[in-house]
Amino acid sequence: MATAGNPSTSRAPGRQWWKGAVIYQIYPRSFMDANGDGVGDLPGITARLDHVASLGVNAIWVSPFFKSPMKDFGYDVADYCDVDPLFGTLEDFDAMVAKAHGLGLRVLIDQVYSHTSDEHPWFVESRQSRDNPKADWFVWADAKPDGSPPSNWQSVFGGPAWTWDARRGQYYLHNFLNSQPQINGHNPDVQGALLDVARFWLDRGVDGFRIDALNFLMCDPELRDNPPAPPSDRPRTRPFDFQRKVRNMSHPDIPGFLARIREVTDSYDAIFTVAEVGGDEAEAEMKSFTHGEEHLNSAYGFNFLYADSLTPPLVCSALAQWPDEGGMGWPSWAFENHDAPRALSRWCAPEHREAFARLKMTLLMSLRGNAILYYGEELGLTQVDIPFDQLHDPEAIANWPLTLSRDGARTPMPWNAEEPSAGFGSVRPWLPVGAENTSRAVDVQERSDSSMLAYTRSVIALRNANAALNHGAVRDCSTQGDLLDLVREADGQTVRCLFNLGPQTVPISQAEGSILFAANNATPDNLPPYGALILET
């Protein structure tokens, strides 16, 4: 078993390692296939950790690898404390942690507390009767007098959030697939069991958790209907979009459980916790979940993940939600992840992608908060168009053709352009690599000092070397057309970050100071299309 000791760090004494960290998200199915079965695995991750460490990041976040029927690709957990054979063994996990720690990388893993698989032993027992020891571990309810579901709640994946179970003669709640029954987070015994899960992984040496779909953990015990959503210009592709989700999620008792999680993590050394929070009330919930020193350390929402465009007002608005004030939590930002289409395919035209990729990486490393880098983002990967007959994602299939295209952002990492499937490790990977992304393979970019990979390393090094960029406060964030002007300060250092988020040159004046970094041929007088300039003032 891996030791619980953490890797050394050059961080300043008294400041948590995670504050300002760059975290690299690995989607295990798609990172590296060590045994040639078409699916990535833990030994594959271990084999490629040297690449991750070479980027200069502080930690890896590994998406679910737990035992699962894989109906939602690991987010339907059948055993919280074991590795699915598809990905390897617990010994493989321990080897991965040991290798990461040896390279100075912290290890974060997902925890999926709001729901399990219907194959999890807890649910298998719960559905047997109304009076067994785990009868109240999930959300069960009687039918209405006419036999219809207990409330009007809708599933994220489409259709009612209730499924009838003949064994108990009741409905059970599932906010996602009907094979993902909803945990009753109000139950103290359930909370205790989840805390034991956290201890299990902490004892194996993990350095923190990303907690999935956290605001779904508890629902309204009275099961009252959700009200209709107000009129909106946003497209509605699912029944879920027609409601205000005020009853089936976001219960005010959730922070009380988070305080219990914090008690557990504080009993270990330097543990980091970050909540995934989406939905209509995300900003308020993220602040509630991270308030003070008794809840989680950080939260990240969906400010950028589903944004159709990257604009200066969007950036300033997101940063303004997290002022440098006492009791305020610490934000984490991601432009891409396993649930959202690749940003380069959302935010710019194909002819601008090379320049935009550099701008985007520079901006991510300049934001106050933690920067979460999705695997392949350092290569400038784009969204792959997956034909319907090759889709695996249940959400994409259910909502075709109006789909989030999650499969297109989960394609295999390209390692060697000349090898089959770009060196992923198998001839027939579970998803196609994509010809465009094959041309961006690691081996190709390693041979060029001007590659996106080399650029990513340089801008991460810039962030790590400058206190104002790494953990400084935001002193000003202003916009003028496509120009974003961001000022940050820390430890006596002030930096001014200028970004041109548009395709036309923007003249600038009074850009005084020493140049720390220039992107896309930016100068103190002009920002070319998608240019960026970072000055120490």
* CA atoms 437, 442, 448, 449: torsion sign: positive
Name the DSSP class of 312.
Answer: H
Spot the catalytic one: 41, 76, 118, 276. 276
254-266 and 282-290 are packed helices; what angle lies between their axes, rounded to 10 degrees?
40
- For 160, 162, 175, 229, 244, the CA distances from 153, given in Å and listed in that order, are 6, 8, 8, 12, 10
* pLDDT tens digits, one per residue of 341-371: 999 999 999 999 999 999 999 999 999 999 9
Q: Is there a catalytic annotation at residue 203?
A: no
How distant is the alpha carbon of residue 516 from its chain centre? 29
Q: How confident is the model at residue 8 (pLDDT cuts 50, 70, 90)?
A: very low
CB environment 145-180: b (16+ within 10 A), e (fewer): eeeebbbbbbbbbeebbbbeeeebebbbbbbbbbbb
* pLDDT tens digits, one per residue of 249-276: 999 999 999 999 999 999 999 899 999 9
Separation CA 304–CA 163 (nearest Å): 33
Mean pLDDT of 14-21: 90
Q: Is the pLDDT of residue 6 over 70?
A: no
* pLDDT tens digits, one per residue of 63-114: 999 999 999 999 999 999 999 999 999 999 999 999 999 999 999 999 999 9
The tokens of 127 are what? 């559905």
The tokens of 433 are what? 């690599």
333, β-bridge pairs = 371
Q: Is there a catalytic annotation at residue 446?
A: no
**DSSP class per residue in 370-385:** EEEEETTGGGT-----
The tokens of 299 are what? 């939260």
The tokens of 308 are what? 């159709």
Q: How confident is the model at residue 236 (pLDDT cuts 50, 70, 90)?
A: confident
Q: Is the pLDDT of residue 397 over 90?
A: no
**Mean pLDDT, the chain, as a whole number?**
94
pTM: 0.95
Separation CA 118–CA 173 (nearest Å): 11
Residue whose structure tokens are 């789909």: 403
pLDDT given for residue 399 in this prediction? 77
Spot the catalytic one: 212, 336, 377, 378. 212
Separation CA 34–CA 46 (nearest Å): 9
CB 52 within 8 A of CB 59: no
Q: Is the pLDDT of residue 235 over 50?
A: yes
**DSSP class per residue in 248-266:** SS--TTHHHHHHHHHHHHH
Q: Is the pLDDT of residue 7 over 70?
A: no
Q: Is the pLDDT of residue 5 over 60?
A: no
- Tell me the percentage of the chain whose pLDDT exceeds 90: 89
353-364 and 452-465 are packed helices; what angle lies between their axes, rounded to 10 degrees?
20
Q: Is the pLDDT of residue 516 over 90?
A: yes
Q: Which CATH class is domain 22-114+187-462?
A: alpha beta
Q: Is the pLDDT of residue 174 over 70?
A: yes
pLDDT given for residue 4 in this prediction? 37
Q: Which CATH class is domain 472-536?
A: mainly beta
Mean pLDDT of 34-60: 98
Closest CA to 330 of 17, 11, 13, 20: 20
Q: Is the pLDDT of residue 169 over 90?
A: yes
Q: Is the pLDDT of residue 242 over 70?
A: yes
Contacts of 484 (CB under 8 A, 6+ apart): 312, 315, 316, 363, 477, 478, 497, 498, 499, 500, 501
Contacts of 502 (CB under 8 A, 6+ apart): 481, 482, 529, 530
Q: How confident is the model at residue 2 (pLDDT cuts 50, 70, 90)?
A: very low
Q: Is the pLDDT of residue 62 over 90?
A: yes
* CA atoms 229, 232, 234, 235: torsion sign: positive
* pLDDT tens digits, one per residue of 466-475: 999 999 999 9
Going from N- to C-terminal start, the domains of the chain cover 22-114+187-462, 472-536
Separation CA 84–CA 100 (nearest Å): 20
Cis, bond preceding 401 (omega within 30 deg of 0): yes
524 CB-contact burial (10 Å; exposed 0-12 / middle 13-18 / buried 19+) = middle
pLDDT given for residue 149 in this prediction? 98
CB 313 within 8 A of CB 325: no
Separation CA 522–CA 119 (nearest Å): 56
Q: Is the pLDDT of residue 42 over 70?
A: yes
